[in-house]
Amino acid sequence: MDLLSSASHFSTFRYAHSHSSFPPLSTHSFTVRSSLPFPSQKAKYYKELEAAVGVVERACRLCLDVKSSLFSSGGRIIEKNDQTPVTVADFGVQALVSLELGNLFPSIPLVAEEDSAFIRSNNLADLVVNAVTGNSSLTDTSCTEADVLHAIDRGGKDAFTFGSKPATYWLLDPIDGTRGFLKGSEALYVVGLALVVDGEIVLGVMGCPNWQNDLSNKSGTIMVAHVGCGTWTNHLPVVLDGTANVPSSWTKCFVDQCCVVHEARFCIQDSQSWDSLPLSPLFSATTNADSIGDNEFLLLPTCCGSLCKYLMVASGRASVFILRRKVQTIIKTWDHAVGIICVHEAGGKVSDWKGNQIDLAADEVGRRFIYPSGGVLVTNANLHNQILELISSGSTV
């Protein structure tokens, strides 16, 4: 099935909103790649993935522009009602992705984190419009405030009602790890986008602007996955301060090959401690890689955002990511969908704590929540059954 309903053409469109309190948009050049690391004949959703890569790259550019404005001019940093820090970038990314995907694929609904109520009540619309229009590829129409607000709400909780049947939709996390976005260049954050077709995740794109690459001094990475075509990474194609950051060739990703639990590298959610997990009665954890005891696991330093943990496992930097489902916390689909396909296509495995596949359709109405038994377990596949057994043992200790 070819989901593309119009030509996939990308160019550059810049628009300066006269009432923004941010400085004028930067003149950084930004080039979107037009090719993927595998031929179109092998990828059923090639055009959809190509479009997703382009819009995620522009979304990362938006994040860098907004972040530069925030930290160079003392711009506004705000909090939502749930006390989660959020910036203009969250809403700007959602509007940008919604506008572009809505233009290319008008029949495919978007499930995303934000709605426009907050920016309406806090008079932030001008800032969001400025951020969006400075990074949009749409050249045929001007982007108005009404367009941007409508685009945000297209992904909101009241925009679309699903049913019990398998559905097709985009899943977007505008910025996963917003706290990391606010901390500076050291903490990681991710723009995550996935496409679900008839209930199956068929492609995913993660953009992490400040990811430090292993073999170069360049920061920023984009990870893509397509069902049956593997997981791949490349540098983000941005130009900063007049110095070209030329994208290298695509690199195929594989999970690590660790087969011994004691030698595995673990990462956990920032909001959780090792003591809160069922493995803690059996093993302690250390962050000192040079001194690991007989009954200790190596726990990698935390990095903001659950999607960063998926990126670490899919790229082979971590062996295991384990997340406990808290009783009063609802787990969002967009925090996991894109990571699931990236890990699977890299050779890993994702399940709940009983070994069941994550059910993205558990929330039949909105496809916004998942309810994994116990929590989520992400591994390199070699360790999956061993960790499940340890979880079962630990939960009964």
Question: Which residues are catalytic, by number?
Answer: 90, 178
Chain mean position to CA 48: 17
For residue 359, say whether it is annotated as part of any ligand binding site.
no
Nearest to 136 by CA among 16, 55, 26: 55
* Residue 335 labeled ligand binder: yes
* 199-227 burial: b if 16+ Cβ within 10 Å, else e: eebbbbbbbbbbbebeeeebbbbbbbbbb
Summarize the chain as % helix, strand, coil (round to 5): 30, 20, 50
Single-letter amino acid code for the residue at 125: A
CA distances from 371 to 172, 333, 357 (A): 18, 9, 11
- Other CB atoms within 10 A of residue 83 CB: 6
Amino acid at 10: F
78 belongs to an annotated ligand binding site: no
* DSSP secondary structure letters along 298-317: EEPPP-SSHHHHHHHHHTTS
**Are the C-beta atoms of 170 and 110 separated by less than 8 Å?**
yes
Closest C-alpha to 98, from 58, 45, 140, 43 = 58
Which single residue is written with the structure tokens 């110095």? 243
Helices (H), the chain: 46-73, 88-104, 117-121, 125-133, 145-154, 178-183, 306-314, 337-345, 384-396
Tell me whether residue 175 is annotated as binding.
yes
Q: Could you tell me if 177 and 302 are in contact, meaning their C-beta atoms sit under 8 angstroms apart?
A: no
**Residue written as tokens 């699931």?**
340
Annotated binding site for Mg(2+): 113, 173, 175-176, 335
